[in-house]
Chains A and B, each alone.
Chain A
Amino acid sequence: MFTCKAVWNKLAPLAPLARASSTLCRQGGKRAAVFRHERRPPLVQQAHMSSGPTGGGGENAIYLVLVGAACLGGGVYVYRTVSGDKARYEERVTQISSRLGSPAAQPDAPVKTQPEAAAEAASESTKASEPAPASTAAPVEPTPAVSEVPAHAPYLLIGGGTASFAAARSIRARDPGARVLIVTDEADLPYMRPPLSKELWFSDDPAVTETLRFKQWNGKERSIYFQPSSFYVSPMELESVENGGVAVLTGKKVVHMDVRGNKVKLSDGAEISYDKCLIATGGIPRNLQVIERASEEVAKRTTLFRKIEDFKALEKVSHELKSITIIGGGFLGSELACALGRRSADLGLEVVQMFPERGNMGKVLPEYLSNWTTEKVKKEGVKVLAEAVVKNVSYKDGQLEIKLKDGRAVKTDHIVAAVGLEPSVELAKSAGLEIDSDFGGFRVNAELQARSNIWVAGDAACFYDIKLGRRRVEHHDHAVVSGRLAGENMTGARKPYWHQSMFWSDLGPDVGYEAIGIVDSSLPTVGVFAKATAKDTPRAATEQSGTGIRSESETEAVAGPIAGPIAVGTAPAPPPQQKEDYGKGVIFYLRDKVVVGIVLWNVFNRMPIARKIIKDGEEHADLNEVAKLFNIHED
């Protein structure tokens, strides 16, 4: 309460009253109605003490007058603050409810009456009441579809993403005739996410938002859906179909979990009992507080990018608008920036990317590499604003104005927020499952188990990695690996997380990297680099292995290069350049002298070696020798 302090300072000269007035300030907000009464006793005591032994009558009178005046002044002040706050609060509520629009017609009424009562009792910051209107808007609107929900599913998978699909496949492979039910609140069948921020943007097909097919560099086309709809059985047939199968129940959200009764409840009230359950609920994109607090006009022009519908919306917007700003400098933000940047010339689109770090991927890559990467991103046509912290966002003259803390301002038509993922752990409460306080997500053991019949995989799982410690990983391959492992353990395998997952990112067609383990820029690193030739690009890598999803290049590439020097005909080396060019190389991330993470920079199809080094967990005296194993100079 800033004004409180100012008032307090003014009253300070009245020394005997100093203590009383500070108490007044602190308690004024909370006990508006009661303060006067509260204050009296300590003051009376004070008066008693100060005037006890010595006090003359005249001094007492002046003292009482001063006290009375301070009382009155304080009372007037508090009254004004309370009513001022209330007015500000009412205005805020109307702003929020206008933003919620028609769907919130009902929640509006209870929301208004409830906080009004609260305002009576206490007028602390208005923030406390903000979650109330937000949460009433959260429940998914139940679809009007006929409720065709099976009563029981031997294997119930909550969530219809990558981890869930991988688990379904694993269960079906190991348990003949298994009946697997996937329940998802999305309208789509399980699909893979990486192309939404990469390959789909490079497609030449104008109908790509409908077909969702992307052409890999080698010309092979595939859909982002893992399987077409004919792969799945219908939910109602699941119990009767001869050899079992996988069924997907779309548009249904699991809202309650009864662990003792082994059943879940859906948003429309239907109940499904299970024998084994997997929670693969993933997460929802985080939003910036400044955008959440901004007006509805700003919210309408902001995309939180994660799902197919977000891709469709952004794709549409990229054709219609003149300027898009991406807030966030991590994987998603940088990939989208590069994807949009490439189109910027053709579309006449300005692409701006801003983030608080000093360079793109600042939290992942060591500083020198992050700076180099930022230059590459700029070459893709992106206006990069580093060390940018957003102070507020407003809608002015048909454009959004983003004001940064250091005074810079950006005018743009649309914002994409790529500032992280909030794991979806709403079921933890009803299920009685532990949530991890460090990493977020459901806390599970090394075998991805939360409780006897419940496993968690994917983005939402905070698991114990035997080699690297407790972590939570938000990458595609991890979803696949953990989903597969959960599926194996649901069918009795009892295996811990062992096969280290990898991740990859492309920043345009010329810079790509694959990584494995803990890749955190705060760790000490050792980078070993060579000069890149034209052959060392992501394009070449996928051409060689024949797949666009690089985590598959290990399993599908057959005659892949293995460690060991291969005698190759000497190609003329390009003349050494004066400027440092981090063309290709290997970067080791160390924790207590042990390699815990590796980035393969423009060096492809070497993941098995990297995986082996992490698995060994040995202390290597000379990492240059370890780097030799990767043959970075060869293709």
Chain B
Amino acid sequence: MSYCKQEGKDRIIFVTKEDHEAPSNAELVEDDPNDPYEDHGLILPNGDINWNCPCLGGMASGPCGQQFKDAFSCFHYSKEEVKGSECVDYFRSMQECMQKYPELYPQEDDSESAPSGGAEAAPADSTSTDSASVSVPASEEAAAGTESPATS
């Protein structure tokens, strides 16, 4: 059973699982999706890529940042049937750049899965589907794993 006590100005409530089973009636303010101040995920409300997203780690800011941005933008805006098929050159130059910094971009198979991972991450942020969210953990790890600490 839940009970409540007061210690000076501090109130303490102990609750059991049953007490918290009923859904909350606390009212939360509706979020404005177009709030200019709010931090956004990978994709901004206007459809652009948020290069400052913490989920990208330092990919867009490192030595190969420019190549990464070119490749990923091309992929993001690609309207081909096989998404990103016209972006092969960008990905190649990105991979070449990354090979120059093995410490920053450990050469596993990540460089291949990073673009496809990025694609999964994009739809997952806006509208999540079950299949997309399943593959996202792997891709997020790929995107983040190619670089050491990803704070910020």
In the complex, residue of chain A having the shortest beta-carbon distance to the beta carbon of B25: A625
Interface assignment of A551: CB less than 8 Å from any CB of chain B: yes
Among the stretches B74-82, B84-92, B142-150, the one at the interface with A is B142-150
CB < 8 Å: which of A172, A555, A613, A626 contacts B54? Answer: A555
Which residues on the A side are within 8 Å of B21 (C-beta)?
565
In the complex, residue of chain B having the shortest beta-carbon distance to the beta carbon of A555: B54
Measured between alpha carbons, how far is A245 from B64 in the docked complex, in Å?
10
CB < 8 Å: which of B22, B29, B65, B147 contacts A172? Answer: B65
Decide if B149 touches A626 in the complex (CB within 8 Å): no
In the complex, residue of chain B having the shortest beta-carbon distance to the beta carbon of A243: B66
In the complex, residue of chain B having the shortest beta-carbon distance to the beta carbon of A634: B17
Interface assignment of A344: CB less than 8 Å from any CB of chain B: no
Given A226-B149, A368-B10, A168-B15 contact (CB < 8 Å): no
Which residues on the A side are within 8 Å of B25 (C-beta)?
625
In the complex, residue of chain A having the shortest beta-carbon distance to the beta carbon of B14: A529
Measured between alpha carbons, how far is A169 from B63 in the docked complex, in Å?
11
Measured between alpha carbons, how far is A126 from B102 in the docked complex, in Å?
60
Decide if B52 touches A559 in the complex (CB within 8 Å): no
Among the stretches A88-96, A128-136, A151-159, A495-503, the one at the interface with B is A495-503
Decide if A223 touches B16 in the complex (CB within 8 Å): no
Decide if A480 touches B152 in the complex (CB within 8 Å): yes
For window 481-502 of A, CB contacts with B under 8 Å fall at: 483-484, 487-488, 495-496, 498-499
Residue from B10, B38, B53, B148 with most neighbouring chain A CB atoms (10 Å): B10
Decide if A633 touches B151 in the complex (CB within 8 Å): no
Given A227-B104, A565-B21, A245-B63 contact (CB < 8 Å): yes
Given A222-B149, A488-B52, A559-B20 contact (CB < 8 Å): no
Which residues on the A side are within 8 Å of B16 (C-beta)?
530, 573
Decide if A484 touches B52 in the complex (CB within 8 Å): yes
Decide if A223 touches B24 in the complex (CB within 8 Å): no
Given A166-B151, A245-B63, A559-B136, A530-B36 contact (CB < 8 Å): no
Measured between alpha carbons, how far is A499 from B152 in the docked complex, in Å?
12
Which residues on the A side are within 8 Å of B31 (C-beta)?
612
Interface assignment of B23: CB less than 8 Å from any CB of chain A: yes
Count of chain B residues near A, Cβ 8 A: 57
Measured between alpha carbons, how far is A454 from B56 in the docked complex, in Å?
27
Decide if A558 touches B140 in the complex (CB within 8 Å): yes
Decide if A177 touches B66 in the complex (CB within 8 Å): yes
Measured between alpha carbons, how far is A225 from B141 in the docked complex, in Å?
19
Measured between alpha carbons, how far is A552 from B56 in the docked complex, in Å?
12
Measured between alpha carbons, how far is A176 from B61 in the docked complex, in Å?
9
In the complex, residue of chain B having the shortest beta-carbon distance to the beta carbon of A488: B52
Given A228-B148, A556-B140, A559-B133, A524-B9 contact (CB < 8 Å): yes
Decide if A525 touches B52 in the complex (CB within 8 Å): no
CB < 8 Å: which of A222, A616, A631 contacts B148? Answer: A222
Contact with B along A210-233 (1 / 0, CB 8 A): 000000000000111111101101
Measured between alpha carbons, how far is A386 from B145 in the docked complex, in Å?
44
Interface contact tally, CB-CB below 8 A = 178
Contact with A along B120-152 (1 / 0, CB 8 A): 000010000000010011001100100111111
Interface assignment of A192: CB less than 8 Å from any CB of chain B: yes
The DSSP consensus for interface residues of chain A is: mixed
Which residues on the A side are within 8 Å of B54 (C-beta)?
552, 555-556
CB < 8 Å: which of A222, A573, A618 contacts B17? Answer: A573
CB < 8 Å: which of A226, A227, A246, A526 contacts B11? Answer: A526
Given A556-B144, A628-B24, A173-B52 contact (CB < 8 Å): yes
Measured between alpha carbons, how far is A613 from B29 in the docked complex, in Å?
9
Which residues on the B side are within 8 Å of A524 (C-beta)?
9-11
Decide if B28 touches A556 in the complex (CB within 8 Å): no
Which residues on the A side are within 8 Å of B51 (C-beta)?
173-174
For window 12-65 of B, CB contacts with A under 8 Å fall at: 12-17, 19-29, 31, 36-39, 51-56, 58, 60-63, 65
In the complex, residue of chain A having the shortest beta-carbon distance to the beta carbon of B8: A367
Contact with B along A236-247 (1 / 0, CB 8 A): 000000010110
In the complex, residue of chain B having the shortest beta-carbon distance to the beta carbon of A548: B149
For window 65-123 of B, CB contacts with A under 8 Å fall at: 65-66, 69, 101, 103-104
Decide if B10 touches A367 in the complex (CB within 8 Å): yes
Measured between alpha carbons, how far is A612 from B58 in the docked complex, in Å?
27
Measured between alpha carbons, how far is A203 from B69 in the docked complex, in Å?
37
Decide if B104 touches A552 in the complex (CB within 8 Å): no
Return B20 CB to nearest CB of chain A, in Å.
Answer: 5
Decide if A529 touches B12 in the complex (CB within 8 Å): yes
Interface assignment of A47: CB less than 8 Å from any CB of chain B: no
Which residues on the A side are within 8 Å of B150 (C-beta)?
552, 556
Closest 9 CB pairs of A and B: A172-B61, A628-B24, A555-B54, A173-B51, A498-B37, A366-B10, A524-B9, A166-B152, A625-B26
B residues within 8 Å of A by Cβ? Answer: 7-17, 19-29, 31, 36-39, 51-56, 58, 60-63, 65-66, 69, 101, 103-104, 124, 133, 136-137, 140-141, 144, 147-152
**With contacts A222-B149, A615-B29, A628-B22 known, what are 10 further pairs, Cβ within 8 A?**
A165-B152, A227-B104, A231-B104, A366-B7, A524-B9, A558-B137, A559-B137, A565-B21, A624-B19, A628-B26
Q: 26 interchain pairs (CB within 8 A)?
A: A168-B61, A170-B52, A174-B51, A174-B52, A192-B151, A222-B149, A227-B58, A243-B66, A366-B7, A367-B8, A496-B37, A526-B11, A529-B14, A530-B14, A551-B151, A552-B151, A555-B53, A555-B55, A556-B54, A565-B23, A573-B16, A573-B17, A613-B28, A618-B27, A624-B15, A627-B15
